[in-house]
Each structure stands twice: as C-alpha cells, then as structure tokens.
Amino acid sequence: MSGPLTGLRVIEFAGLGPAPFCAMLLADCGAEVVRIDRPGAEDPLGQRRDPLTRGRRSLALDLKRPEAVAAALRLIDGADALIEGFRPGVMERLGLGPDLCLARNPRLVYGRMTGWGQTGPLAERAGHDITYTALSGALHAIGPAGAPVVPLNLVADLGGGGMVLAFGLVAALWEASRSGRGQVIDAAMTDGAALMMAMVYGLKGNGLWSGARTDNLIDGGYPFYGTYRCADGKWLAIGPLEERFLRLFLDRIGLDDPALAPPIAKADWPAARDRLAAWLATRPRGEWLERVEGSDACVAPVLDLDEAPLHPHNRARGSFVEQDGMVMPAPAPRFSRTPARAGAPPGDPGGDGSAVLAEAGFSAAEIERLLGAASA
C-alpha cells in the first residue's frame, strides 16, 4: 500500500451503501481494512462483485457466538478505527458497543453510520437514501416543476453518509494522534444530506432562492444552466452562467437572438429556454461539441455509463480503472507524493479469515475453532 493512510488499521463490520463506501475510500488511500462479514453472506443486490468492497480482506464471524465476539474484540484492540452501519443499539447488544471497545482500546475512533442518527425521534426507524434526502430539504429542491427527481443514492448514502463519515474518521484520528484518546462519531445520512445543502440554504437566506423547483439559477430554471436534447437524441449539459461565457457560447453555436442576450429577466426565462431548446434540437450533439471545442463555453456532453470511461479527458486522467473485466471509478483525490490506488478486487466473504487471524496472533487451534464453527 502506498497511500497517505498507509499504516492505519481499520475494522469494518459489513453493511450496505455508505459504510462500505467509506471503507473503500480509506482502503484506496492505503489503510489496512479488515471487513467482518457474516458466514455465508451474499450480496443483497445480487452482484457478483461489488466495487465498494475492493481493497480489503474479509473475515467471516458469526457474531451471535460469544467466541466470535471475543475474537472481534481482539481484532478491535489492535485497530485505529472501526466502522459499523447497524441501527442504534445493535452493536451494544452484540457486546461490541463503543463503551466496551474504548475501554479496551482508548485510542480507538469508533465510526457509526446510520440514516437518522443515534438519537432523535426517527433513530430506530428504517429508511433509505430517498427518505434521508427528503428530510434534509435536498429532495424538494431537485427536479422539474412537477415531482421531485430521485438523485440516485448520491446525496445521503454516498455524499452525506460515506464521505462525511470518512472525513469524520480522519478528523478524529488526527485529534487522537495528539491527545491519545479516541471518540465516537455519530454520522447520520440526514445530517450529511442537510450539510451538502449549505450553499442552497445560503442562497435562500439571502433571498436568492425560491421555494419552487426549476425556478432558480442552478436548478434548471435559468435557461443557460440545464440540459438540452440534440437532433440525434443525445443531450448537452450547458452552464455558461457568467456573461462573458454566455456571449461566447451563443457565438460558438451561431445563435444571434436578441431575446437570449444577457441580462435576461426572470419572467423571460421560460421563453428563452424554449428558443434555445429549439435551436439545439436542429443539429446532432457531435456538431455542437465541435463548435465549442477548446473554448470556455461551459458545455459538456451528457455521457452514459458506457461513454463516460471512454471520454478523452477521463482517459487522460485515469478517472476509471478496470478490474477483472469490470469498469469502475478510480480513487480520488490525487496525491502528489503518496498516490492512492484501487486495491485488489473483492474476494469471497470470509476468504481471508485464516490469514487475518494468524497475523493478529490467534493460534492454529483458535483459528480452526472459529472458522470451522463459522462454516458449519
């Protein structure tokens, strides 16, 4: 491992979505992450390989058995950080709660990933990205004037969840390196989704954001910040917000229309959008891209999942990698001296158990008892 987190040891309790995404970020940056899976676990989405589990080893333990819990505690004793994504109270009932773990390992940073948080009226309720995003205000702000648009699981699961937890872990680890004391991180996806809306709440607080969808500068309301269909059915994303970029854009696409010259009154936005849409629908996407090539017109093609890895910029940057025939995003960000890298493809759950336990000082007899019982 060569990343900036080389030497960091993390125990991850297998979960879904944001917790494994957080663990992937740490592993990409060089952390040694051991994932504790359930015996016989299968991917709930039916995936043969999940990129979110790359770069770490797996140990299968049946945490309903006291000896398995004792083994997990021994591994936690030697760890710098822990990641778990269960509902509040589950780790405590397993005998792996933060009070016990921190008493044994006072430097441990204990990361807890939930949808609603460890406290609050909804803490015990089930949910998914869409429900956490809804509670933050973000879902209401995304989409056309009709129904809000589901932003995949990017806002709460991955951005407000996994990334915020990864930031919290690194921040707490930095503090622990000076104080010698760990702590518990309560990372709630609904909190993180709200945090990602800081700029929009700022615009609203300054009277620059209305409560209606497609009525604002960056939500598709402004005619020069949106997506447009071309003659071949493909789409362009345009965003020349600044006047100099807008004038350049209009010049490059050959559209000399006084109704589109800046500044455009808000009342005229719908008509301007219609005029621009009609113009861009007259030619295929490739022709428009040729016209704006090499300029600051702020235009990009809306690429699908097959096209994006092949784009010349993404290829030059190495933004995607391939493992065992599967294309996946490469680690980010870039480090000048200690580069991150996509770790080994995920293996079978529990496939590294013997090696992980042996390195942690378990005897051959202990390993046989633990793993033999797990596979029974």
**DSSP for 338-368, written as a single string:** S-----PPP--TTTTHHHHHHHTT--HHHHH
State the Cα–Cα distance between residues 138 and 133, nearest whole angstrom.
6
pLDDT at 373: 63
pLDDT at 276: 97
Which residue do the tokens 């789409």 mark? 235
SS3 (DSSP) at 315:
helix
> DSSP assignment, residue 196?
T
Are the beta carbons of 68 and 36 closer than 8 angstroms?
A: no
Q: How far is CA 128 from CA 36, 114, 140, 152, 153, in A?
A: 23, 10, 16, 11, 8
Q: Within the chain, where are the H helices?
A: 18-28, 66-77, 90-94, 98-104, 129-136, 138-141, 164-179, 189-195, 198-205, 243-252, 269-280, 285-292, 312-317, 353-359, 364-375
State the Cα–Cα distance between residues 51 and 345, nearest whole angstrom.
7
- Angle in degrees, CA 309, 21, 202, rounded to 5: 90
Residue 68, CA atoms < 13 Å, CB-side half-sphere: 20
For residue 17, which amino acid is it? G
State the Cα–Cα distance between residues 115 and 365, nearest whole angstrom.
40
Of 49, 72, 223, 201, give the one whose Cα is nearest residue 136: 201
Angle between helices 243-252 and 285-292 (to 10 degrees): 120
pLDDT at 243: 95
Of 94, 214, 71, give the one whose Cα is nearest residue 146: 214
The C-alpha R_g of the chain, in whole angstroms, comes to 25
Burial class (CB in 10 A: 0-12, 13-18, 19+), 244: exposed
pLDDT in 10s for each residue of the chain, 376 residues = 589 999 999 999 999 899 999 999 999 999 999 999 998 877 777 777 788 999 999 999 999 999 999 999 999 999 999 999 999 999 999 999 999 999 999 999 999 999 999 999 999 999 999 999 999 999 999 999 889 999 999 999 999 999 999 999 999 999 999 999 999 999 999 999 999 999 999 999 999 999 899 999 999 999 999 999 999 999 999 999 999 999 999 999 999 999 999 999 999 999 999 999 999 999 999 999 999 999 999 999 999 999 999 999 999 999 999 988 899 999 999 999 999 999 988 778 888 999 999 999 999 999 998 987 655 5
State the Cα–Cα distance between residues 232 and 238, nearest whole angstrom.
17
- Both tokens of residue 39? 């015996």
DSSP 257-268: -GGGSSS--GGG
**Domains assigned to the chain:** 9-196+320-375 (3.40.50.10540), 235-301 (3.30.1540.10)
State the Cα–Cα distance between residues 134 and 115, nearest whole angstrom.
12
State the Cα–Cα distance between residues 229 and 133, nearest whole angstrom.
28
State the Cα–Cα distance between residues 160 and 188, nearest whole angstrom.
8
Of 25, 36, 118, give the one whose Cα is nearest residue 79: 36
State the Cα–Cα distance between residues 177 and 238, nearest whole angstrom.
46
**Residue numbers annotated as active site:** 128, 157
**Residues in Cβ contact with 125 at an 8 Å cutoff, skipping those fewer than 6 apart:** 115, 116
